[in-house]
Structure 1
Amino acid sequence: MIIGPSIQLANVNLQYGPNQILSEITHQFDGGQCHVVMGPNGGGKTSLLRSILGLTPFRGQIDILWDESVNNGKAGTIGYVPQKAMFEQSLPLTVMDFILLNQTRSPLFWRQRQKDKQIALTQLDRVGMANRADRRMGQLSGGEQQRVLFAQALLDNPDLLVLDEPTTGMDEQGVRYLESLIHEFVNQGKTVLAVHHDVTAVRRLEAQVHVVNRVLVDSGDHSQVLVPEKIERLFNHYSQPAVSASNQSEVA
């Protein structure tokens, strides 16, 4: 039933000037599962996601391997929710405008079809934001904006959903909406790849956890990685030289 892609990384390195962000990461994220990347601030989590999406130059090889039996062998669709977005309060862009703009890729002054609006409302309802469709984006709280960004990412019914700290600024109700949708995606055989920092939330997602701190520090089921004797060391800032894949387990 797996329709979401697996993701293979081979010797991935990323450097900004003299700063080594990612070092010799070789790994695979299996398809049809929820994967959560964790680690300390500055450890390279977001850079890894952006590299996978092709938004950041890197050295090495990253392959998104789609199921050839789906979509006649063509690549599937990807939904992406960035960590946050800034919307000017005075900008007359409503929640509905934002969703329609991303849905139709057409100027907002074009006649809006009722079908497009209904699709937009359906996705907004999935994140509990249908009742705020007429509000300006700049008037929403940061957590509400994140919900709208999540709704936008759902428009193309993605087979791979990439989330960078999706619950930033979000209230408990919003967190529950998103967690429910993530479970729904995985149950459909799709692949979810997220950066997250909340250990309790990640346990609820029943995710595969991959700790990145310039190198891949540890990887496995949340029940194996997020244990008390490991957690403190997993989130310490990088202080050791890069290790080879064969020695990575020793770092954890």
Structure 2
Amino acid sequence: MGPSIELRNVGLTYGENVILQDINHRFSAGQCHIVMGPNGGGKTSLLRSILGLTPFSGEIDIQWEQSKGKLGYVPQKAMFEGSLPLTVMDFILLNQSSSPLFWRQNAKNKARALTQLERVGMANRADRRMGQLSGGEQQRVLFAQALLDDPQLLVLDEPTTGMDEQGVRYLESLIHELVADNRTILAVHHDVTAVRRLDGHVHVVNRSVIDNGSVAEVLVPEKIERLFNHYTAAPAVSSVDAENKKEVA
């Protein structure tokens, strides 16, 4: 069973720019949670706070059912030096251990990696260099890498960026499979049509959580335009200063 996530008075500022403010919210265990909202509303910042990648105020409690489980993370983009002769298999095995990469190329680890690559339709590209892949294909590899440790919590930041329709469907199928196995999925997503297919619990973030519920409750025409307008009021600073702040996603 995946964990639940409890947020208590969570806030985040960059300088004087308020990104998240007084969030008290809960993501239930074993469900698919989709975080949506306008650009600059704080979606990615919320995920980074939950992952402990950025400082925040308040408390974030990841509540595991028993002992602490494993977490998988898929960022918006693969980070690697494109000029390196790094194959897909090399890349996916990078997080296996602290041992040098050439020590990890054993049959057991490669078999595990190929299994996950098959789940995202990339097994036939295992020997291809990462730099030769499209952005969408690289995202599929990131997803396979995140699944290697069999995580109970999977955090996805715009996981379908650059993907073609086939890649999107692979990932949607996997997400349904993981939720059926009671894993907790927390994903930032912007595509309303794709989110409807996922049929998860939607949380709209615009500095705070301004709405949440099922797809049928939240993603209705009369709500969408209002929910996805960016929050423009000045936060605890002068209006002149607020106009000059750099918007942060």
Q: Do they fold alike, i.e. is TM over 0.5?
A: yes
* 1:165 and 2:158 correspond: yes
Which residue number corresponds to residue 97 of structure 1?
90
Deviations, residues 107-153 of structure 1 (Å, cap 9, x unaligned) = 12226211111111001010000000011111111100000000000
C-alpha distance after superposition, 1:80-122 (max 9, x if no partner): 0001123333211100001122224321222621111111100
Task: Name the residue aligned to 2:76.
Answer: 83
Confirm whether residue 139 of structure 1 aligns to residue 132 of structure 2: yes
Paired with 1:112 and 1:102, the residues of 2 have a C-alpha distance of 12
Q: Work out which of the residue numbers 39, 42, 55 in structure 1 matches 2:40.
A: 42
Kindly report which structure 2 residues correspond to 1:49-60, keeping only aligned pairs within 5 A, or say none.
49-60=47-58
**Partner of 1:33 in structure 2?**
31
- Shift of the alpha carbon at 1:31? 0.4
Root mean square deviation of aligned Cα: 1.2
Give how far 1:216 is off. Answer: 1.1
Residue aligned with 2:96, SS: helix
Deviations 1:50-92 (A, max 9, x none): 1001111000010000002xxxxx1000000001123333211
What secondary structure, in the 3-state scheme, does the structure 1 residue paired with 2:174 have? helix
Indicate the residue corresponding to 2:171 in structure 1: 178
Partner of 1:247: none
- Where in structure 2 are the equivalents of 1:102-251 lying within 5 Å? 102-110=95-103, 112-240=105-233
TM-score of the aligned structures, taking structure 1 as reference length: 0.91
Percent identity of equivalent pairs: 77
What is the alpha-carbon distance in structure 2 between the residues aligned to residue 145 and residue 106 of structure 1? 24
Q: How far, CA to CA, are the matches of 2:20 and 2:103 in structure 1?
A: 45
Give per-residue Cα distances to partners, 1:162-219, cap 9 Å, x unaligned.
0000000001000000000100010001100000000010010011000001011101
Separation in 2, partners of 1:175, 1:89? 24
Amino acid of the structure 2 residue aligned with 1:94? T
Q: TM-score, normalised by structure 2?
A: 0.92
Task: Give the secondary-structure state (helix, strand or coil) at the position aligned to 1:12.
Answer: strand
- How many residues are paired up? 235
Structure 2: where are the runs of 5+ without partners? 236-249
Specify the SS of the correspondent of 2:210: strand
Instruction: Report the alpha carbon displacement of residue 241 of structure 1 after superposing the two structures with TM.
Output: 6.7
SS of 2:142's equivalent in the other structure is helix
Which letter maps to 1:15? T
